[in-house]
Amino acid sequence: MEHQIILLPKDNYYGWVGAAKDYVVRFGPNVTADPDSAGRYMTPQQTVTIAGAPDGYPAQGDIQAWFRANYPSIRMDYIAAETPDDFAAALKARMDANDRYLQPDAPFQLLWPTEFPKVMQPFGVNPDVYRRWNLPGHDGIDFRAPREAKVFACADGVVKRVDSWNGNPQDFPSGNRIDVAHRDGYVTLYAHLQQALVKVGDPVRAGQVIGLADSTGFSSGDHLHLTLKKTGATAAGLTNFPRDIIDPSPFLIWPAEATVEASGSAPPAVSFPWPAGQCLIGVNGRADGRMQEADFTAVTQAKMEAVKLTSTAAPEDVDRLRAINPAMFIMVRLFASFKGRNYPAAQFAQDVQHDMGQFYQRGVRYFEVHNEVNLVDEGWTTTWQNGREFGQWFLDVRNRLKAVYPEALLGYPGLSPDGFPMPLRTNDMRFLDESEAAVQAADWIGLHCYWVDEAGINSPAGGLGYLEYRRRYPNKLLFITEFSNPAQGVDKRIKAQQYARYYQMVRNVPGLGAALAFVLSASSGFLHEVWRDEDGSLSEIPGVLGRR
């Protein structure tokens, strides 16, 4: 559907109408001498073709400036013409070219692609988030667009690609997506759509509705992501982005009321680098040593999607877990005993490197660097005196391991939450503040959530502990690397029901990778948390979770 109206000067109006007659018959636009009628017509999806006579619109003055000020969202199609004959000649050239809007010398421009004048995430920002995809920053512009909002083509062109995603963000990070090829080698890409309303090969006009918005693919909320490419731009050094991606901002016709989300206010529509796209349902494997037969039985019965092993597990345990669930996400905690000694980073990296490599070779990429490092038993006061010293230790370990395993994603370890009964601990939030540089350099952040009663599940000091981490690190991928109700005297069936509820609670929290309950089994200790006994008998936890 094409909405076009031709604006003609009042002076000698019928002379101008005569000049436009053949064009009107051919393409069917409306005609008016009133600039306001032209501005309001079918807004914001119309093109106003202007017969650009000098002094043709004395009440408005510079007619292009007037439209930009009063009707910024319309698409202007200005034809400079001294006389009706000039105008007729220009329109005839278009008809001869079978091109309704022939504009050989006009700069390439992008129409605003939604009805909402708000940018949620500008081009090039958040380098920390996008570095993982080898991008120097956000590779497009995120526009506000609630679910099912209209998405408009930014410029005339032809649809060259339509992706229908299969529900797996790993296969289709852009979700449902449309690519439109434009003149001069420009291509626009519209991502995270609910559906495309065009198909490959369709010609589209600027302002045409081509799809509806949503949050499909790698996306943490409803919005429209727009990428602009220019063929050859990367090779020519015109951009530091790969795949010919360039900054769309200078091409965009900004509505007068457009605003850009200020960083630090409402959370931006960040696309977290998390292939699964949702918080996986997981558990910590055996606390010490390799997984045993009853552990695999519990994982099967509980229908787990994620397991965190320690590096003291056997690498073959990875194969067993993938046999249970081919999509199983596996994380490994780099494990070593710190008790009572000073354990330099170089020594730790050397000690864990061999075991880590065995998991790395099996495709494991997510590694948590140690654990609860704000406890005396885990290095506080013996290897580091505070968060700052731990941060230096972490960065040293990280650099050493990345040099050997470049694709490894090394996580800042979960801290022991303050307020939770545990002697010999230093405050977790202060520890985070002191180790800020390490937190920012980490590929992801682990955190622990514990509670002992029903109310604790919904408490910021308990199950909702991840909220403070999200507030502090809005763009970081988070993992709940441990959670449980370790209380004595609470039936494991009750705990299982709490866990089932907790998994459901966090399932769709953006940027949470997995929630990993503590713990399948242990050779000693953790009596009130283990999912099975050492004689191999299962508690009620796996069964209750399996029926979730």
Return residues touching Zn ion (CB under 5 A). 142, 225
How far is residue 349's CA from residue 53's CA, in Å, rounded to a whole number? 75
> Looking at this protein, which amino acid is placed at residue 70?
N
SS3 80: strand
> Looking at this protein, which amino acid is placed at residue 547?
R
CB of 138 to Zn ion, least distance (A): 6
Q: Which is nearer to Zn ion, 177 or 225 (CB)?
A: 225
CB of 162 to Zn ion, least distance (A): 19
Q: Which is nearer to Zn ion, 188 or 284 (CB)?
A: 188
CB of 129 to Zn ion, least distance (A): 10
> Looking at this protein, which amino acid is placed at residue 258?
A
SS3 434: helix
Q: Which is nearer to Zn ion, 142 or 368 (CB)?
A: 142
Q: Are strands 224-230 and 141-143 parallel, antiparallel or unpaired?
A: antiparallel
- Name the residue number minimizing CB distance to Zn ion: 225
DSSP string for 322-381: HHH-TT-EEEEEE----TTS---HHHHHHHHHHHHHHHHHTT--EEEESS-TTBGGGTBT
Q: Which is nearer to Zn ion, 142 or 214 (CB)?
A: 142
Q: Which is nearer to Zn ion, 205 or 225 (CB)?
A: 225
CB of 140 to Zn ion, least distance (A): 5
Dihedral of the alpha carbons of 57, 63, 66, 70, in degrees to the nearest 10:
90
Report how far apart the first and last C-alpha atoms of the chain are (Å, whole number).
48
DSSP string for 152-221: E-SSSEEEEEEE---S-TTT-TT-EEEEEE-GGGEEEEEEEEEEESS-TT-EE-TT-EEEEEB--SS-SS
CB of 210 to Zn ion, least distance (A): 18
Q: Which is nearer to Zn ion, 245 or 409 (CB)?
A: 245
CB of 23 to Zn ion, least distance (A): 40
Q: How buried is residue 510: exposed, middle or buried, by Cβ count under 10 Å (0-12/13-18/19+)?
A: buried
CB of 271 to Zn ion, least distance (A): 6
How far is residue 336's CA from residue 35's CA, in Å, rounded to a whole number? 76
Q: Which is nearer to Zn ion, 192 or 425 (CB)?
A: 192
Q: Which is nearer to Zn ion, 191 or 287 (CB)?
A: 191
Q: How buried is residue 422: exposed, middle or buried, by Cβ count under 10 Å (0-12/13-18/19+)?
A: middle
> For residues 38 and 69, is the Cβ–Cβ distance under 8 A?
no
CB of 104 to Zn ion, least distance (A): 33
Q: Which residues contact 342 (CB under 8 A, 6 or more apart)?
A: 382, 383
CB of 483 to Zn ion, least distance (A): 30
Helix (H), strand (E) at residue 400: helix 387-404
Q: Which is nearer to Zn ion, 225 or 492 (CB)?
A: 225
Q: Which is nearer to Zn ion, 157 or 268 (CB)?
A: 268
State the residue for tokens 């850009």: 260
Q: Which residues contact 101 (CB under 8 A, 6 or more apart)?
A: 47, 49, 77, 94, 156
SS3 261: coil
Q: Which is nearer to Zn ion, 139 or 529 (CB)?
A: 139
Q: Which residues contact 230 (CB under 8 A, 6 or more apart)?
A: 184, 185, 186, 187, 238, 239, 244, 246
CB of 242 to Zn ion, least distance (A): 16
Helix (H), strand (E) at residue 297: helix 293-301
Q: Which is nearer to Zn ion, 145 or 442 (CB)?
A: 145
